Amino acid sequence: MGQDSVKQRRVGAVLEVTLDRPKANAIDAATSRAMGEAFAAFRDDPDLRVAIVTGGGERFFSAGWDLKAAAEGESVESDYGVGGFGGLQELPDLNKPVIAAVNGMAVGGGFELALSADMILAAETARFALPEINAGTLADAATIKLSRRIPHHVAMDLLLTGRWMEAEEAARWGLVNELLPADKLLERAHALAKLLAEGPPLVFAAIKEVMRLTERLTVQESFDLLRSGKVPSLRTLYDSEDQLEGARAFAEKRAPIWKGR
């Protein structure tokens, strides 16, 4: 059942994943597992370089946790799959770029799904909210991540009040990279994804891993880690053909040809 709600489309080296569960693109456990499988397959496919995650329809990116499923007995301790809730936020070793194309309301777990991406593009009509406070619980992933993305006091405002944040405000705080007319959102997401897909995949992998591993370290601790030889993606990069190709291409004043090895 969850597989039917997760649509996949390959465009060259780009994978588009669409959460399509009318009316609100809410996520139950089966859908979350299907999304995790889709993103794990993306991670492991050497021919895919970039992923886009978006919502079906025009009104919702995702309403988050499926409360109907919750009312029928599904709990927060259910099996949400290899990537955790929504398939992205706990997926290990995902060292490829992911773009969220937020086409409508991103609520609760839907907001958290967008936060799991590396870049966020949003329709001008998009809205964001974390209403869990009104149901007597917390948006756990957003509680962990949001203050790392926007100013602490703005994050606390959203978490403590559950209020709506309009797309324009999200852009003002740097939560989203770009605002676009709704009918141009996917076009722009694919243009950005194509640009990234033409870039050096081993460098992208190193950037994501270094950022992940050093997020809570001091600057000196971070440099010590990089020099320790214990960052796998850095070892791969420094021993790669791509590293030599980048230097040669620069010296020869030509465009590099990246092979990912």
Q: Which residues are catalytic?
A: 112, 132
Count the neighbouring beta carbons within 10 Å of the beta carbon of residue 185.
23
**Considering just the CA atoms, what is the radius of gyration of the chain in Å?**
19
DSSP string, 131-195: GGGGGTS--HHHHHHGGGTS-HHHHHHHHHH--EEEHHHHHHTTSSSEEE-GGGHHHHHHHHHHH
Specify the pairing of strand 127-129 against strand 164-166: antiparallel
User: Which residue shows structure tokens 């694919």?
Assistant: 190
Tokens of 80: 């949400």
φ/ψ of residue 248, rounded to 5: -65, -45
Strands (E) across the chain are located at 6-11, 14-19, 26-27, 50-55, 60-62, 64-65, 98-102, 105-107, 119-123, 127-129, 164-166, 178-180
Cα 245 to Cα 255: distance, rounded to the nearest angstrom = 10
Cα 188 to Cα 164: distance, rounded to the nearest angstrom = 25
Q: Are 64 and 26 in contact (CB under 8 A)?
A: yes
Cα 81 to Cα 84: distance, rounded to the nearest angstrom = 5
